Structure formats: structure tokens, C-alpha cells
Amino acid sequence: MGRSVNAVTGTELNHKEYQLLKGTEMNRGIEVRYMYSACVVTTTPDVSVLHDPWFTEGAYDGSWYHFPEVKDPIAKIGDVDLIFISHIHPDHYDPKFIKDYFGVYGKKDVLIANHLPNHLSKKMSADGIDHKILTKPISIGSTEIEIVPHKNDNPSDVDSAIVIKYKEVNRQHCVVNANDIIFDEEITNAIKRVAGEPDILLCGYTGAGPYPQTYFELNDPLLELESNKKKNSFFQRYEKVTGNINAKVNIPFAGKYILGGKFTKMNAYRGVADATEVLKFDPRAVVLADMGGAISTLDLVPTEVRISPYSEELIASRIDSITNKKMTYETLIDKTKISELPIKRLLRTAASRAAKYSGCNEDFYFVINLPNNEQAIINTNSKESSNIVFQTTKEKNLPSPRSELQIDATYLFGLLVGLYHWNNAEVGSQFMTRRHPNIYNQSAQQFLNFLSVC
């Protein structure tokens, strides 16, 4: 159990005192109820909104699992009026869960941001999920809802924030859910123009991507150093966001997962912080307890909180329970048939297609190991007319700068034909990378998102 603490004064209340304090005022203000990762429920006297529910295990093509394990989320969430999906990533958009939820409580309006192109809208349409693209604020009684899309002319920019305001005669209540938006002045200023200085800000505090765990050998001393460097880097981003938006209470959340199956050994090196680590440097932070910890704009008194990280024993037990899980592609094709897959032909077509979309104007190479002791060398430079060659793995003369990719052949086939997507593969830690030199090239990395035949 957590404890009820006024987030501004620090006064601790027992449960009975908390309920007495709330009394008849429970129907005013905005309540934020935390469920898991980026999923919360916000409730005003007019409307309840379910944000980014992810409860289907094995996201990112089989690698992402819940920690702690989540049981019976539909019942614990309860009936809501609306659903908000911030972006297309599988730990935010879970079509299977949404359909399961509709099966229990009936269909709800699903709200998404106005992005161009709108990848999320296309995916939802393909999944058979009706949705509404919010191009302007909507009002429901005294509640106003506005979605702020994150736009910086980056093709991989798909995220959005939501601002919920509830107006009383003498004051306005405001909650901002910034999701995974990484700090930049343009988006935080856009949020501030809509929200002012909100009562509660929910925002990311940690990085859930593949670095550094897929970039180093597990016994490399650099791995732990890079892991800590990554944690601190995202703490700094968190401080920039919270400092600029200046809410009364900050709730660090999202990016909460654990790697399953053949990737469990990498969990300790992901550079993913526990949300309670934020309490050490942010006096306005509150970490709500899983599956029901809540706080209201009325008094900023949380019902249940976490104040310390999960125990190592609990983590180890959960990892042990998911070690034998399979990736989605591991049962896709008979392993004896892998050599028959037309991977080289597909790579030629995919590399030619990706070159047309490449934003990289300098030489940078991807070296992809293939079956039969072969490798493909792809130049991401948009000025190169012929950008792929094949050679045997015995050849030691490799170009630089480069990233060498070690990836399951069946999965590579699925990526090339569009069954899977490179961005999900990357976030899901589904392939190993060795950079020479170890320098990040963003435009070259984005080349991978177009490396398919369709």
C-alpha cells in the first residue's frame, strides 16, 4: 500500500482522513488515476478519458513485457467515456486491448492528433478501429480537451500531448499529459499556450530504446557507463520539460517494460530508471502506485504512491517467468527453409527504394549479416545511385563509418516485406548493432525506416 501525502505541503494523511477531506468535493476538479506505463485515466465531473492503454504482452514483435505483471486491467480501469491515443508505438497503441475493452464496455470515441502524414490514423483504419482526428479543442460541459501534436518536420515525429481543463466559477483545473515528447522549446511553448501553468504534468523521464544494451557485448565495461549516461541524459530532459511547463505536481511515467524471451539478459543494461529515482531531485514529483494510485487537482493529495524502487527479487522472479517466451517471428517459418528466402533480391529492391527517401547526404554504411556466410553492404548516402553490394563474411575490408547489424534472418525477411517495421524492431531491441566508430548518425539511422519493398 502507498500513503496519502499532500504533494505541496508534504502533510501525510491516513486513508480515513483522506476520504473525509475529499467528502462531497470528489465530483470537482480533475482526477488522474495511474494504471501502468503511459496508461492513465483522467476524470472530470463531465467526462472520463482513458489514455494510451497497453496491456497486451509481447509488444514490439514479442520482446516487451509488463513489469510488474498486470492482471485484469479491463475491470480495474472500469467504464470510461473516451480513449486518447498519443501515437503509434505499440506500448501506446494496443489495438487488441482496445477491441477487448470495447467487448466489455461497448465502443468509445477514440481521439488522436492531427499529424500529416497520419500514420496512426492509417493503422487504426487497417485495424478496424473507428477514430476521430482532433483538429481543434472540444468542450464537454465545463471540460475542454485539446490535443497538441508534436511537429518538427521529422518523418518519425508521431507523438502528441493532451491538455484537459475543467472550469469552475473561481478557478480552472488543468492536467497535461505530455507522453513521450522529448524536450524542445517549440512543443513546450505550444503546450504552455494551451495550458498555462497546469496543476499536474505527466511526462516521460527515461529512455526505452535499444541503446546501449544492443550496441555492446554484455561483458564490455563501457556498457554500464553508457547505461548510466543514458539515464542521466533523460533526467536532464525531464528537468527541462518540467522546468519549462512549471506544473504544481509532476508525475514521471511511461517507458515501463521488461525484455522477455532471448533478450532477458539485457534487462540490467537498458539504462531505464525506476520512476522513484526522480524523487531524489524533483521535490514536485509524485510517483503514483500501479493500477489505481490517484491524485486530484482539487487538493493534489495522492491516494497511493511508490517511494522506492521495486525489489531485485521481484524483478528476478518476473524475468525468470518470461525467459522462455518466443518472439512473434520465431515460429513464422520453418528454420530449415530460411536459406530459401529471397532475402538478397528483397534487399536490392528495398535499398533502392530507401535511397529515394534518404535524408543522409554523406557516406554511412549498414552491414547486414545474411545466411550462407554472406553480408550486404548498403550506403545510405542519397547521392549514391548504386547503394548495395554483397560479399562473403570472410572479407575483412569493410567501409567506415558503418553500423554492423546482427538480425534473425526470418525477422529480416518480415521487415523487408513490410510484415514488421524497422522502428519497432529497433525500439524492441530485436537486433544487435556495432558502430564503427561509435557515433550516432540520425539521418542514416532513419534510412532503416524505409528499408522495405513496400
Q: 18-22, 147-151, 160-164: which has the minimum mean pLDDT?
A: 18-22
Which DSSP symbol is given to 152?
S
pLDDT band (50, 70, 90) for residue 20? very low
- Residue 17 pLDDT: 47
As a whole number of angstroms, the distance between CA 108 and CA 304 comes to: 28
Short-list 444, 435, 430, 446, CA closest to 210: 430
Task: Find the mean pLDDT for residues 185-214.
Answer: 95
Q: Which residue has the higher pLDDT, 27 or 61?
A: 61
Contact 80, 41 (CB under 8 A): yes
Contact 111, 118 (CB under 8 A): no
**Percentage of residues of the chain with pLDDT beyond 70:** 93
Average of per-residue pLDDT values in the chain: 93
Cell numbers for 297, please give them.
487537482
Task: Find the mean pLDDT for residues 197-203.
Answer: 97
- Residue 2 pLDDT: 43
Task: Find the mean pLDDT for residues 147-168.
Answer: 85
- Residue 384 pLDDT: 86
Q: Does residue 407 have a pLDDT over 80?
A: yes
**Percentage of residues of the chain with pLDDT beyond 90:** 85
As a whole number of angstroms, the distance between CA 148 and CA 366 comes to: 36
Q: Does residue 14 have a pLDDT over 80?
A: no
CA distance to 118, 123, 166, 372, 436, per residue, from 449 (Å):
16, 16, 40, 25, 21
pTM score, whole prediction: 0.92
Q: Does residue 23 have a pLDDT over 50?
A: no
pLDDT band (50, 70, 90) for residue 3? very low
Contact 266, 217 (CB under 8 A): no
Residue 87 CB-half CA count within 13 A = 23
Contact 47, 73 (CB under 8 A): no
- Residue 158 pLDDT: 82
- Residue 157 pLDDT: 67
Cis amide prior to 212 (ω within 30 degrees):
yes
Contact 323, 307 (CB under 8 A): no
Q: Does residue 320 have a pLDDT over 60?
A: yes
- Residue 156 pLDDT: 61
Residues 329-356 as b or e (16 or more Cβ within 10 Å = b)? bbeebeeeebeebebeebbbebbeebbe
Q: Does residue 26 have a pLDDT over 90?
A: no
DSSP secondary structure of 363-430: --EEEEEETTTEEEEEE--TT-SS-EEEEETT-----SSEEEEE--HHHHHHHHTTSS-HHHHHHTT-
Residue ranges per structural domain of the chain? 4-322, 329-450
CA distance to 183, 224, 227, 239, 252, per residue, from 235 (Å):
11, 17, 13, 6, 10
- Residue 428 pLDDT: 98
Which DSSP symbol is given to 22?
H
pLDDT band (50, 70, 90) for residue 9? very low
CA distance to 53, 131, 350, per residue, from 110 (Å):
12, 5, 34
The secondary structure element, H or E, covering residue 349 is helix 343-357
CATH number of 329-450: 3.30.1050
Short-list 297, 223, 209, CA closest to 254: 209
CA distance to 116, 208, 224, 272, 319, per residue, from 228 (Å):
36, 13, 6, 9, 21
pLDDT band (50, 70, 90) for residue 24? very low
Q: Does residue 313 come out as left (phi exceeding 0), alpha (psi in the -120 to 50 range) or beta?
A: alpha
Q: Does residue 22 have a pLDDT over 70?
A: no
As a whole number of angstroms, the distance between CA 278 and CA 444 comes to: 33
CATH architecture label of 4-322: 4-Layer Sandwich (3.60)
Reported as a single tens digit per residue, the pLDDT across 227-270 is 999 999 999 999 999 999 999 999 999 999 999 999 999 999 99
- Count helices and strands in the chain by DSSP H and E runs: 12, 22
Task: Find the mean pLDDT for residues 429-435.
Answer: 98
Short-list 161, 240, 243, CA closest to 197: 243
